[in-house]
Amino acid sequence: MPKGLQRIYGQGRLHFVTFSCYHRLPLLRSASARGVFVQALDRVRKEYAFKLVGYVVMPEHVHLLLSEPARGTPSTVLKMLAHPEAQHWPKAPGGAALFSLRSARRRAPAVLAAPVL
């Protein structure tokens, strides 16, 4: 986690997160790859009971705006989504996860003040 970044959970706020594909490779460039990702996102959303306010799937990274889940934390949700063992993603070179979580702090606040309705 970047120095000085705080995770604030339990206040019913929305969370903006960004994560990248392995080494920022364009692994989500095809429609079929994006479809697999969206299906996995839907499975995780149902399992952890969070509201997905919006998302953008780019060829090499993803942006999500989500509520706090009923089970776990936003960090738990991202771990379940990102790791190949959790979603049966094919492994990247060297057996690494296809996605690497990184902070979106430089682009937008990590937590938005809007309550979830």
Q: What is the pLDDT of residues 8-66, one digit of tens each?
A: 666 677 989 888 888 888 988 888 888 888 888 998 999 999 999 999 999 999 999 99
Q: Grade residue 116 by pLDDT with cuts at 50, 70 and 90.
A: very low
Distance CA 95, CA 89 (A): 11
Architecture of domain 13-112: 2-Layer Sandwich (3.30)
Q: What is the pLDDT of residue 58?
A: 94
* Rg, the chain, Cα only: 14
Amino acid at the residue 96: A
Asked if 12 and 116 count as a contact pair (C-beta separation under 8 A), the reply is: yes
Is 0.75 surpassed by the pTM of this model? Answer: no
- Which tens digits make up the pLDDT trace of 76-104? 888 888 765 545 555 555 555 555 544 33
| Position with higher pLDDT, 69 vs 101 | 69
Give pLDDT, residue 62.
92
Residue ranges covered by each domain of the chain: 13-112
Q: How many CB atoms lie within 10 A of CB 43?
A: 14
Mean pLDDT to the nearest integer, 61-75 = 90
pLDDT at 50: 95
| Angle, CA of 57, 45 and 52, to the nearest 5° | 60
Q: What are phi and psi of 36, to 5 degrees?
A: -60, -45
| Cβ 2 vs Cβ 103: under 8 Å | yes
